[in-house]
Structure formats: structure tokens, C-alpha cells
A = this chain, B = another copy of it.
């Protein structure tokens, strides 16, 4: 067990990091395992509440993942696929929005229970996220799948300034007010840019980017934007990691100082990233 003095030491050790990020905004893409396991959930939300209290402004963008699929199945809604992409027709979109809405308020409730003050928003609130229709890779219509056309960050800024933690579900608003489902990583990146955040953190279910995917000790703790093309070419970055890294690149180009791909399966990985010098996951920088 730790002595009182050791405890004090840890708090003192956090001071330089608290100073460094004081008054800064950090956008967190919340998803994957960290959104399913109840202990991890609590750990993530505790980290956010702690950040808020020490003067840092966290903004959560969450995904929906398995719950959407589960609900579609329960409702007997079958999905069509075009070149591997699920076509989001109107009934599907309705389910997407309902499930995201429910998850959104669950996150808010957990933040509140831990002593923070969460406010759940979707991209439709005050036209926070204006969406364009996105076409499939072969230019097919894949329904209500959108991409970010514009972020109107005033509502989120107000909510931050008033001391709340904004929690945003990745639903965008189309020209006629219709809903679009947008990839949550993309929304997090665009939000970080619009808010001129200091940090973008993407929680994933992997250790970060491994030089050799079979060797967990080969983690690349920092990569520069300019190194990324060759890493993709060499297959070090591949598959689902490619769009995540692209979100990082866009955010950095948009003025975000650092971006991080963290292992959401490690409890308090956000806190460790922000408050200690312990390298967790992969940082993508200019």
C-alpha cells in the first residue's frame, strides 16, 4: 500500500501536465471496448471529470457500434451492402439515431454520477454538424451516410464555457433537416479542428501502431505526418487504422497540436496520456 507521501508525490508529478493543458480543449473519440466494459466506461468518464476539474476542457464524440447492429437485428431490419458498405436507408437511420441517442444520455448520466456535469448533444442541435451525403466508393447511393460539411461550434463552446462536458453523437443535419450517420472518428477530427483543440485522442482496441504487428514491443510512440505515406506503403498502417490516421492528419493540418491513437482497453489510458510522461499508444504530430 502507498504511503501518504508517495500519494503526494504522484499528485505533484502531475502538476507540470496540469499547467501545460490548463484551459486547453481535448477532443476524445470514445468507442470500442472502452464503451462496452463497465469498468473501462467508468475509468474513461472519471478521467474526463478529473480533467474538467483541473481546468482542461474535454469534449466527447462517441460511436454506437454493436448496439446498432443488435437493435437492427431485433427489429428485423436487414441491411443491404454495396461494395462492403451498409446502405443506411430511412428505417436504418432511424434506428441509428435512436441507439446513438440512448448511448449519448447513458454517457451523460455516468459523467453526472461521477460529479461532472455532462450535456448530450447531437449534430442536429443548433445545426452543430452540417452534413453532406456521402456516396459509396463506386459513387452509388448508400443512403443516409454523411460526411462533415461544416461544424458550427458555438453551442459546444457555450456549453464548455458554462462548465459542462459536451458529449456529441455523430449525427449530422442535412439541407432539409434530415439525419445523416457520420463516422465518429471523422466527426471527432472535424470537431477538434473547429474548436482549435490542443489534442485529439482516438480510443481504439489496439496498442497503437506497431512496427511489427506480431511484436507488442514494437510500438511506434511518435510518428510524424510526413512519415505516414511510407508507413502505409510498407503496410505498417493498414486496414481500419488508415482512416483513423487520416483523421489525425486532417486535425493536425487544421491546427490541432497533437493527435493520439490510444489503447482504450487500458484503464485510465486518457489520464495517463494527459497527466504522465508514460508513453501510451501512438502520437501523430506535425
Contacts of A4 in B (CB 8 A): 272, 276, 278, 280
Say how many copies of this protein the assembly contains.
6
Q: How far is the CB of A90 from chain B (nearest CB, A)?
A: 12
Contacts of A155 in B (CB 8 A): 119, 162, 164
Contact A125 B120 (CB under 8 A): yes
Contact A15 B101 (CB under 8 A): no
Q: How far is the CB of A95 from chain B (nearest CB, A)?
A: 9
Band of interface residues on A: 35 or more
Contacts of A192 in B (CB 8 A): none
Q: Mark A172-201, 1 if CB is under 8 A from B, else 0.
A: 010011110000000000000000000000
A110 interface contact, C-beta 8 A: yes
Pick from B74, B121, B126, B272: contact of A8, CB below 8 A: B272
Contact status of A177 and B101, CB under 8 A, knowing A8-B272, A18-B50: no
Contact status of A54 and B18, CB under 8 A, knowing A94-B102, A101-B98, A176-B113: yes
Task: Give me the interface of A with B, judged by CB distance under 8 Å.
Answer: 2, 4-16, 18-19, 22, 43, 46-47, 49-50, 53-55, 74-75, 94, 97-99, 101-102, 104-105, 108-110, 112-115, 117-122, 124-127, 154-155, 158, 162, 164, 171, 173, 176-179, 266-268, 271-272, 275-276, 278, 280
| 5 CB-based A-B contacts, threshold 8 Å | A18-B54, A98-B101, A98-B102, A101-B104, A118-B125
